[in-house]
Amino acid sequence: MTTTNADEFVWTRPASKLFPGQVRALLRAWLIERKAARRQQWPDDFVSDAALVATELAANAITHAPRLEPVTFKATFSEPHSLWMGVWDCSPKAPVTRPMLGEDGMPVLDEGGRGLGITLALVAELKVTWTPPAGKWTWATCPF
């Protein structure tokens, strides 16, 4: 399912490795179109930052949703100067945000576990909303 209009972009697909790239490309196109139509204005790096956040959330969703179960990306302007982006997946596991620095103040050198830390640095809020009977939205707001 896809809906695209001036205020909302929604993209639902079966979970697969294609999803994060699709979200990234389609979100960028939607934001660039909005700016061209002069519906919204923002600093130059806003689109790249928003695309990075969307990609991290989408990558996590397809990692934790069983393959081919539906995952949804949604972006909407929740306030005049804030973009809400969320990804829904059916996994009952909660996202865990790990600090970028260890207790010794040095960068953590684990192979993974950085995506949400990077996201946190780029957004105003990073939250989870559970959706009984199953799944959750992992969502962030990006002010501009």
Ligand X SMILES: Nc1ncnc2c1ncn2[C@@H]1O[C@H](COP(=O)(O)OP(=O)(O)OP(=O)(O)O)[C@@H](O)[C@H]1O
Give me the residues that bind ligand X (CB under 6 A), please. 56, 60-61, 64, 89, 91, 93, 95-96, 112-117, 138
Q: For ligand X, which residue has the nearest CB?
A: 115
SS3 21: helix
**Cβ-based nearer residue to ligand X, 38 or 67:** 67
User: Mind giving me the DSSP string for 53-114?
Assistant: HHHHHHHHHHHHSPTTSEEEEEEEEEETTEEEEEEEE---SPP-PPPSB-TTSSBP--SS--
| CA 74 – CA 81 distance, rounded (Å) | 17
Q: For Mg ion, which residue has the nearest CB?
A: 115
Interface pick for Mg ion out of 20, 86, 95, 115 (rule CB under 5 A): 115
User: Cβ 55 to ligand X, closest distance in Å?
Assistant: 10
| CA 122 – CA 105 distance, rounded (Å) | 21
Tokens of 102: 């260890």
**Cβ-based nearer residue to ligand X, 34 or 91:** 91
**Cβ-based nearer residue to ligand X, 27 or 34:** 27
User: Cβ 88 to ligand X, closest distance in Å?
Assistant: 9
Q: Strands (DSSP E) along the chain, which ranges?
A: 2-4, 8-14, 70-79, 82-89, 125-130, 136-143
User: Cβ 96 to ligand X, closest distance in Å?
Assistant: 4
CB under 5 to 8 A by kind: which of Mg ion, ligand X, none does 127 bind?
A: none
Of 54-73, binders to Mg ion (CB under 5 A) are 60
- What residues line the site for Mg ion (CB under 5 A)? 60, 115
